[in-house]
Structures are given as C-alpha cells and as structure tokens.
Structure 1
C-alpha cells in the first residue's frame, strides 16, 4: 500500500530514539494514538537534533499500529541541522519527486495564459511613454502642462489602485478565473475609449478603465499561478508572470516604433492593447479554476481533477492532503476574512508588512519612472529625435526582458533574499552613474546633456534595468504570492498590490515635478538613497521561502509572532521576530 509520510510541526516529549528494534517498537502505541487523536497527515517529531519520520496512510490511521515497523517506518537523521527546534528549514519528505520547470506542459500552459495579464500590465506601462510624445503634439493643452502629462500617465495607476484593492475581494469571492475575465473586459473597454478619445479628458477616462483592469490582473495572475505551481518551481513560474510584464513593455516599445509614421500614431499605440486582452479572455474560458480556491469552496472533485493534471500519482495524495489540512483550518475559523482582520492577527500583520514593504520599495527605487518616462529621459540625455528615443527605449525594454529570464532561472536556485539583495546593490550603483551623468546637465528641465554624458546616461539606464529585472522585478510578486495563509491570500495580495500601485502613482505623478525642483541628478540620487533602505529592509525582514510549501511558510510567521527576540537560522530563515 502507498503510504503518506507523517510529519508534525509539534515537539513530542519522547525519550531519545534508540537504534534498537525494541525501543522503536515501544514507541508505536504512543505514535499511532497521537495520529488517531489528531487526524493529521504530516507530523514531525524532533528530539535533540534527531528526526523521527513515520508513515501512515490518511484515512487508515486506526491501523497505524500494524503499519509501523522499525525498518520500514522510521528514519533517523542526525545531520539535518535545519530541523532543530525553532528552525524553519525545509520540511521536505525524502520520497518527494521534484518537478522540473519544463516537465509539465499543463502547468506551463496555465502560467502562460494567466501571464497575459502581466503582458497587459507591461504593455500599458511602456506604451504610454511613447504615445505621450505624440499626444503632446496633438493636444496643445497637454504639451503646455506637465501636470496634465503626469495625469495622463498616472490615471491608469489610479485605476490600478482601485482594481487591486477590489481585486483581492473579487478573487476570494468569485475565483481567480472570473477575476481574470473581468480584468480583460475592462482592458478592452479602456483600450477602445482611448483609441477614439477626442480630447484629453476622454483619454484620461480610458486610462482609468485600463488601470482598473490592470490592477485586478496584477493581483490575480501571481496568485493563480502560485496556487497551481509545485513548490519547487513556484518562484520561477510566478516570475514568468513578471517576464510577461517585461515582454509587454518590450512589445509596447516595438509597437511605438512601428507606428511612428502612421496617421493617428498614438491612437494605434493605445488601441492595439485590446488584442492580447481578447486572446486571454478566449483562452481563460477553457482553463480551470485554481485548485486551491476550488477546494476551499468545497468543490473538491473539481480541485482534484486539476491536481491530477499537475502531479503524478506518487505526489498527488500528498498535495490533496495538504489542501485538506488547509481547508480544515479555514473551516474551523468559521468566518470570512475582511481587510480589517489582517490587522488583528500578529502573524498576518508581519507577513503583510513584509509583502507590502517589498512592493513599495520596488516602486520607490524608480523602476516605473524609468519605464513610463524612458523616451523622455533619453531626450533629456540629449537625443532629441523621437524615433531614436523610442529605439533606445526599445533596447532598455529588451534588457528588462532578458534580465527577467535570468531571474526566472535563478529565483528557485539562489532564493528570493539573495537575488533581491544582489539586485539592489546593482541598482544603487546604476543610479549613482545616472545621477553623475545628469550632474553635467544644468538644473532646468529643458536642458540636455552633451553627447558623451548622454551616452553615459544611457549606460546607466541599461545597467539599472540589468540589475533590477532579475531581482527586484520578480521577487516582490513571487514573495507576495506565497507568504499569506490560504484564507488571507486574496485579501493580503490585493492590499499589497494596492501598496505597489499607490507607490507607483506617487512616483509617476511627481517625477517630472521633482526633476523641475531638484534636477534629474537629484531625482536619481533620491532613488539611490531609497535603494539602500530597501537593501536593509530585505536583509532584516524578508524570509527565504524557496522550495517551501504554503503551510511551511505560514509556520515562519507563527514563529516570528510567537518567539519574539529569538533568532534562529535554518534554510536561510532569519527569525528575529520583528514586529510590524
């Protein structure tokens, strides 16, 4: 009979395990009694650094006595230091068959389709930067008013804040699939309104619709992917959504460049965005709902049917058991989670503080300023031709996509923390180069650089993207998709995404104004200072979640909330017990 491994997160008061058969046999009644009493599937028993692992098939716990034998049922491992009490090291069953990134085409199909939401996100981020050059030419009021330019750019961000805030609730109430379909409809409507806009006000309205769709998609896609992904490749698959974002930015610059000589240039640039939204809408109709959401909504047979397409028979029961345990916890709580509940639980506050902090620092290190205003920054650097500005912006966007691919390859090998720390170190250096290049420019907004300093600024931009994209691009989204308990995942994911969009709005709405006040040099110097704070934040507060199941990550926050002031290292976790 195939049997599940039983591992407990509790410490049992056992005598030190002996290697003799008699000692092992004497432990059987107590172990099987414990299993029957608690009806658990995974139980880890620790004593003085030793790991005692037992096996029992879920649903057959009453027969555990007959199943436990010294040779078959117990494994002593004195070398696994990460399993010491207080540790949050990987709690992996040795029989677990790992899944490689490319081995399951079904999961890749789910990821790619859901990632089209990221493509829409990225396309909108990039397309407005090129379209703005031509919108200024058509509408004199826009050309003469930098605040109106900022409003056109940032109104989509306002919509995204609304979409992200509502998206968490929509995800939990109606599911990830319906949330994605809603986002597509809003994006299609917004693209059409922008395309036919007769004046800046209608254009701004269209930007608002698009933004709401983007906001919902930004919450939904990472969660949908994470809940369908095996834990050992979850980071890379969620990072694939970020690759779609950067791919969307690259596509937007390519479209911008293609339509430079076409009548109604900016209208085509903005209208083309409806095409990927239509494609995703059609594909999502044929895709299943998230298996975890289905299971939590008591649609267990549908959830298991989805899991059967993801895992082989050896792994399937283990995943079903984990879903059952998580579902039991949620049903025992007996209530629907609200936004205010996040603040009531210390462990959830700690998780949200970490996730929201990462999202805020992603924006305040300047990434979407670079993407929204890249052609404008290039023109500030002395390259006045619109076509050349768009071409150089296309190169920057290509670097962003390539860097994200590198991040996908590294995030499940190096881990989230190391990747983010290395990324921020490079971002800081790149921003100093940009600041120095623009220090050769007069303070006024309209002044441009000389050719040598201009090319140095371009080098700084490329380096900035090269360092940002593998780390601080995917890491905040990956971490936020996996650090919250099941019942809180939609709500907390929506709240943290809202923090991202609020931060995005602040940066986008103030960038040109700040440049006018302190110069481009001072603006990039401010971003450099923020990157130092971000480095310290990751170092102090962000745990390593590489390869952990959702339930294991949940345990990290319980330890931090309950063991304040203690520090333990295990599998990269730094459990200082920080309070939000």
Structure 2
C-alpha cells in the first residue's frame, strides 16, 4: 500500500521511497539505545537489590535489626533521592544535554555504590542510598529522552520501551546477584557495591557516543547534529528531518520568554500535555505494581507453599515474567499503539486485581484451597501490566512535550512517578491493616478503572507521529481544530497496515 507523505510528516513510505524502518534495521540506533538503557538497568537493579541486602544488613547492625524505622529509611531513602534527581534532571538535560546528564548520573550512582559497600554504620548506608537514588532519578529522566530523540518515529515506542526492558532486567539481575552472594563473606557489601560496575561501563561507553541530535541542533551545533542524523536516516529522510528541526528551531527562537516551570501550568497546550504525561506516571504506580510484587511471597504461602526459598524463587519467576512481558510490549507499542496498549493493559489489570481481592477476602474468612486463585491473579496481573502500563507511561512522556519543555516536563513527570511510588509504598500496609488486604486490592482495582477512563479521555495516540505532529495535537486540543481534518487523516493513514 502506498501512502502519500504530507508536508511536515515523518511518514516513511511514499511514491519515491519504499524502505521500511524496523527495530533491527539500524544497528547504530540500536547501539545508542542499549548503552543509554544501562541507566534503566541501574534503575531496576537498585529497586530490587535492597530486599535481599537488607536481611544481611540487619544481621550485621543490631540497631537496624531492632528498628523498623531504620529499615524503612534505608529502603525509602533511594526513593527520596530519585525524586530530587528526577526534579533536577529535567533542568540538567535542557541546559547541558542528555549525554552530560547521563555521565553525571553514572558518577553519582557509582559513588553511592562505593559508599554503601564501605559503610561502617547504618547512617553511611542511608547516605549511600540517597546518592544512588539521585543517580537513578537523573537516569530515569535522561535515558528515555535520549533514546526518543535519536529514534525514528516509526520505531520510537519500541526503542524507548527497551529502556523499560532494561529496568525489569535489572530487577531480575538483582535477585540473581542476591543469590550469588548469600554465601560470600561481606554479602550485602558485594550486593550493593557491584552496582557500580554497569555505571562505570556506561560512563566509558557514553564518552564515545554522540549527544542527542535534536539537542545538538536546537542548542549547540547544527553541523554536529547533521553528522549524527546522517547515521540514523538515509538522505531522503535526513532532508525531511532537517526541515522539521529547522521549523522547530524557528518556533523556539520566536519565544521571547525563557522557559520556566510556571509555563507548564500557564500555557494551555503544555498544561494538557503535562496532565496526560504526569497522570500516566501516577496511575502506573497507583494501580499497584509495587504492592503486587511485594505481596508475591504471601500469595505463594496462601497457595499452601510455606518455604521461604520457594518465595525467593517466585520473586525470580515474577521478575522474569515482567521482563518477558516488556519484550512483548516492545513489539506491540509501535504496531498496536500507545493508547490502545494502555487501555488493553488496564482492562487485564482490573480483572487480575479483582481476582486478588476475592482470593484474599475468602482466605480471611477461612475458605480453604483458595490460594490458587491468588496465584492466578498474580500471574494475570504481571502478564497484563508488563507489556502495557510498564512501558507506555515512559514512552508517552518521552514524546509528547515540545523541545524546549521536554526536559522540564520529563523531569516533573518522573518526579510524579517517584512521589507516587513513595506514597504507595508507605501507605499500602497501613491501609491493608485498617480495611483488610482483600478490600485494599479492590481499591486498587477501582483506581485502575479511573486510570482506564483517564487514558480514554486525556491521552492521544502518538504512534508513528513526529515530535512536531504531536505538538500540533496539543495546540489543536487547546485552541481549536483549524487543521484537524488534515491531522486526523495523517493519524488514520499511520494506523493502516
């Protein structure tokens, strides 16, 4: 089928150009993606490793063993650091570029890992956790942004989702590392210190990689940007991309006021984009991914398997399912679309949370042999969440903001994710104790219903659209649909096989 490319479009098929861009068609772009995605690996490793390390930290430090507050602080301080890092990461990206932000995140993360490995008391561990959290926060903003700006629009979703795959792979790796060092002297010091290795590897690899071509073009050097873009696109498409960047740069130069955080709420189209992006990030956490993961050992015990070793094995299996589901998401997000994938994912999440609620409720009133329902609910939850609500929020946030606001809005949205993560982590057990675990999962199911409605109403489909075309969507939603018929025609054509 031949599709006519509209002016300003990034369509990759027309009468004179018939080369389809696929996920594996450009090894250069894929290499950039994998190296940048090491930031996601650090993200996932840091969130997973502490669960095993804390057991041995308690054995070494009596104060930690006797204080739930110290244990909670050791775990949550990384979240506090991530919130600060994500909030600052947007401005760092805008001012100094994606490459510099990645290098900074690596240095901070490696330093934090060394501090924890050498810690002589719990408070040094807490400081180290703060440092690695800062690094993770900056990386959580930078990695998807760098990948998105180097990716052709046709495969941008799959490439950005690769970063999410690295996150889930990092979680799986953390469980393997925990198992590997259980019989080694210094256990928890190795578990926490080895995280510096991928950070150091990424640092040196990034030294040989270019800055984001869009940032280069808009902020520093057009000629350097063209060199990078020529490795990504063929001559036909390169000319088209340069035309779009030239237009975007002219629009940026016409803006007289410096970009500020207040603009995100003052300018209507930016406000609408941020509302959609930040809302997705919040619902990713409030639909219960961390609580379901937390309760996985309990679910196994409900099913009649009491072994702690089996619970640890389940953690590995759940993490592997999460990573496998993300691989499915990488394929679907550019074929099925972001919005459709999120809605399908949430439909399954709602069903699985209801199953978990029913299982916990009947278990609480003494019904026997109900654990298998909880195990089924857990498996369904991961199977539906991982391909959709895992990668979609990060992908959407990497592509829905105008160039001058991408760093600020990306940082603010990532901060919303980390704040939501902290709120859920700190409140879930208290709510479960107050109303019961069954009702708590039912509350999460109700939130998932709200998330479905939110995506349906506020999140547009951005599959295959250039950054400039996405920006036009928000302008039309904010100020009217003067050219809506043309844009709708473009989107319809993109969705055709």
* TM-score, scaled relative to structure 2: 0.91
Aligned to 1:86: none
Compared with structure 1, are the counterparts of its residues 514 and 272 closer, same or farther at alpha carbon in structure 2 (3 Å cutoff)? farther
Q: Which of 273, 278, 281 is the equivalent residue of 2:203?
A: 281
SS of aligned partner of 1:297: helix
2:436 to 519, 532, 539: 519
Alpha-carbon contact 1:403-1:470 (below 8 Å) kept: yes
Cα distance change, pair 174–240 in 1 and its aligned pair in 2 (3 A): same
Equivalent residues of 1:150, 1:512 under 8 A apart: no
Alignment of 1:22-41 (within 5 A): none
Distance 1:551 1:567, change over 3 A: closer
Does the 8 Å CA contact 1:543/1:573 hold for their aligned counterparts? no
* Post-superposition CA distance 1:476-504 (Å, at most 9, x none): 00000000011111111111111111101
Question: Superposition pairs for residues 197-216 of structure 1, below 5 Å?
Answer: 197-216=119-138
- Matched with 1:427 is 349
Query: What is the CA distance between 1:380 and its match in structure 2?
Result: 7.3
Alignment pair present for 1:272 and 2:194: yes
What's 2:162 paired with?
A: 240
Written as runs of structure 1 = structure 2, the 5 A alignment for 1:25-174 is: 42=8, 94=14, 95=16, 97-174=19-96
- The change in CA–CA distance for 1:452 and 1:258 in structure 2 (over 3 A counts) is farther
- CA shift, 1:262, in A, is 2.8
Do structure 1's residue 494 and structure 2's residue 400 form an aligned pair?
A: no
How many Å apart are 1:409 and its aligned residue?
A: 0.6
Unmatched tracts of structure 2, length 5 or more: 493-497
Match of 1:190 in 2: 112
1:509 Cα shift?
Answer: 2.0
Q: What corresponds to 1:401 in structure 2? A: 323
Per the alignment, do residues 438 and 353 of structure 1 end up closer, same or farther by CA in structure 2, a change over 3 Å counting?
Answer: same
Alpha-carbon distance, 1:369 to partner: 3.0
SS in 2 for 1:340: helix
> Cα distance, 1:370 vs. partner?
3.5
Using the TM superposition, give the Cα deviation of residue 563 of structure 1 relative to its aligned residue in structure 2, in angstroms: 2.1
Contact 2:337 2:462 in 1 (8 A): yes
Following the alignment from structure 2 to structure 1, what is the Cα–Cα distance between the partners of residues 296 and 113?
22
Deviations 1:82-133 (A, max 9, x none): xxxxxxxx97772454311101000000000000000111111111223234
1:336 maps to which of 258, 274, 278: 258
Cross-structure match for 1:536: 453
- Root mean square deviation, CA, Å: 2.7
Counterpart position of 1:87: none
**Aligned partner of residue 99 in structure 1, secondary structure:** coil
Q: How many angstroms apart in 2 are the aligned matches of 1:274 and 1:346?
A: 42
Question: 1:125–1:368: 8 Å Cα contact kept in structure 2?
Answer: no
Give the equivalent residue in structure 2 for 1:549. Answer: 466
1:321 aligned residue? 243
Change (3 A) 1:236 1:497: same
| SS at structure 1 position matched to 2:436 | helix
- Quick check: 2:303–2:369 contact (8 Å CA) kept in 1? no
1:177 corresponds to: 99
- The match for 1:219 among 121, 141, 150 is 141
- For 1:345-384, list aligned pairs within 5 A: 345-371=267-293, 374-375=296-297, 383-384=305-306
1:126, 1:371 within 8 Å by CA — same for their partners in 2?
no
SS of residue in 2 equivalent to 1:292:
helix
Q: Structure with the greater relative contact order (CA < 8 A, sep ≥ 6): 1 or 2?
A: 2
Q: Offset of 1:206 from its aligned partner? A: 1.3
Q: Normalized against structure 1, the TM-score is what?
A: 0.78
Quote the residue 2:380 is aligned against. 463
CA deviation vs aligned residue, 1:428-476 (integer Å, no higher than 9, x gap): 1111222222224449xxxxx9994444433322221111000000000
**1:570 aligns to 2:458 (yes or no):** no
**Partners of 1:498 and 1:374 in 2: how far apart?**
27
Check 1:134–1:466 CA distance in 2 against 1; reply closer, same or farther (3 A cut). Answer: farther
